Amino acid sequence: MTAPLRLFNSLTRELETFEPIHEDEARVYSCGPTVYNYPHIGNMRAYVFADVLGRTLSWKGLQLTHVINITDVGHLTDDADAGEDKLEKAAAERAQSIWDIAKHYTEAYWADVRALNIRQPAQWTIATEFVPQMLEFAKSIADKHCYELEGGLYFDVSTVADYGRLARAVTDEGEGRIEAVEGKRNAADFAIWRKTPADETRQMEWDSPWGRGAPGWHLECSVMSGQILGFPFDIHTGGIDHREIHHPNEIAQNQAFCCTNGLDVPANSGARLWMHNNFLVERSGKMSKSAGEFLRLQLLIDKGYHPLAYRLMCLQAHYRSELEFSWEGLGAALTRLKRLVIAIEALKLRHEGKIEQPEEGWTQRGAHDEVSSMFLPLLAQFDEAVSEDLNTPVALTVLEELLSLKKMDAGDVLTAASAMDAVLGLGLLDLDRADLRVRPKDAAVSEAEIEDALARRKAARVEKDFVTSDAIRDELAAKGVEVMDGDALGWEWRVG
Ligand code: AMP
Ligand code: ZN
């Protein structure tokens, strides 16, 4: 009854049946954020995707080891080989310590991770903590695959077979984004170690055989993934932009490393599957941290939206489709989330006692044993959906079908819903409908005041004192609170 897990491999541009490299295990590496600024909600889409992938692997009964890195050094203002280090630039502009900047934005990113119910990976790898390993890696490939220029140590992409096959579009001419560096052998060659220029000082720099300097961004991910997960590991993830430069460069380094170190790796790419989420876009185009309103998760929260409404918005689209952000879309996702939570609350009211939830989390096999046999066909449909390249839009409709069934034992439905939510990660059984009320940060009135006014209004209406009841309603309206008599979802009030 279990559907094979099929995942889209960007390397082959095909759906492939997932076969773990190590029996019953799945090892996954996700490129993490560059912590020079807050992540925008588009960045967070990448981690919601990686989380759903991880949850699906766990659902399939695989022992998951997930690693996400924190890039606190080396990512230049251009993904290719141009520009300044993003963190050095931010530190210089704000006259702040680079270490403080990295710490602040790493914590902000972790707060978003928690708010979106993204599971903690087995390990967060911090790039600056892996510099000795990066040096070892670079030394082992330097002779055969690299050459030194004024600026540092460069990787020669012509020394590995099939460079750029992941991107497919990359040519030796590059795409006009690759820095013209005097002496580069091929346009696509990139620095794996950048020497600090004589007239500059960097806050972050280390000694190396190629001079004092800092590692290249691509080197970091090759080293952290290979160190923790071992080459080859199962799946490497990132946003679709990484398919063009960052991941082809990682693959080139992995090939070089595996060849020099005698590792026999299928396709030599380091990971068997390379998976990429598509972009979250704004109507005006690509999401950015500088243009217009900076869409960070906290802005959504400040406007009164529960962060899990954004998670649901992500799940409503397939991860390989572009998703357009709009406030209307987010509002619709919030309403959908409310309906799910209201249904669960009604079931909870009918059900006495505990809801079955295995301590070590749900696997499909466990669910098959514990969920009432009446729901097994729905559970199978759910499994088919997530097993077909993480089709969360369909999986959500299966959950809704389950919750719409009438006259079922409430405990049984809750058990089945809990099993499905193990993959979706909406935390449905822990959410309270009051949590989902639209409640902007700058509201002029507190929740206690509103509840108090509504209680007085209710009492007045019981007394048929409509003058008082209308006056209370107007008073609330003046403070921006809309009283929602007769609302289809049974909501009493809303702010803003
Ligand atoms: P960065 O902090 O720039 O290294 O990006 C962190 C992650 O977010 C990477 O996996 C990017 O590919 C991904 N990403 C960047 N912009 C978007 C976007 N608009 N939508 C989805 N993913 C994105
Ligand atoms: Zn990376």
Q: Is the CB of 238 under 6 A from ligand 1?
A: yes
Q: Is 268 in the pocket of ligand 1 (CB under 6 A)?
A: no
Q: Is 74 in the pocket of ligand 1 (CB under 6 A)?
A: no
pLDDT of residue 437: 80
- Which of the ligands is closest to the CA of residue 43? 1
Amino acid at 160: V
pTM attached to this predicted model: 0.91
Question: Which atom of ligand 1 is closest in space to residue 35's alpha carbon?
Answer: 2
Check pocket membership of 43 for ligand 1, CB cut-off 6 A: yes
Cα of 32 vs centre of ligand 2, distance in Å, is 7
Work out which ligand 1 atom sits closest to the CA atom of 278: 21
Q: Is the beta carbon of 31 within 6 A of some atom in ligand 1?
A: yes
pLDDT score for 172? 44
CA distances from 396 to 367, 380, 392, 405, 454 (A): 17, 13, 6, 15, 35
- What pLDDT is recorded for position 176? 45
Other Cβ atoms closer than 10 A to 253? 27
pLDDT at 132: 97
The ligand 1 atom nearest the CA atom of 239: 12
Written as tens digits, the pLDDT of the chain (496 aa) is 689 999 999 999 999 999 999 999 999 999 999 999 999 999 999 999 999 999 999 999 999 999 999 999 877 777 666 678 888 888 888 888 889 999 999 999 999 999 999 999 999 999 999 999 999 999 999 999 999 999 999 999 999 988 988 988 644 444 445 566 788 999 999 999 999 988 888 888 999 999 999 999 999 999 999 999 999 999 999 999 999 999 999 999 999 998 888 776 545 689 999 999 999 999 877 777 765 678 999 999 999 999 999 999 999 999 999 999 999 999 999 999 999 999 999 999 999 888 888 988 999 999 999 999 999 999 999 999 999 999 999 999 999 999 999 999 999 999 999 999 999 999 999 998 888 887 777 777 787 888 888 889 989 999 999 999 999 999 888 888 888 887 776 677 787 6
Whole-number Å distance between alpha carbons of 451 and 445: 11
Does the C-beta of 76 come closer than 6 Å to ligand 1? Answer: no
- Closest to 423 measured CA to CA, from 46, 57, 38: 57
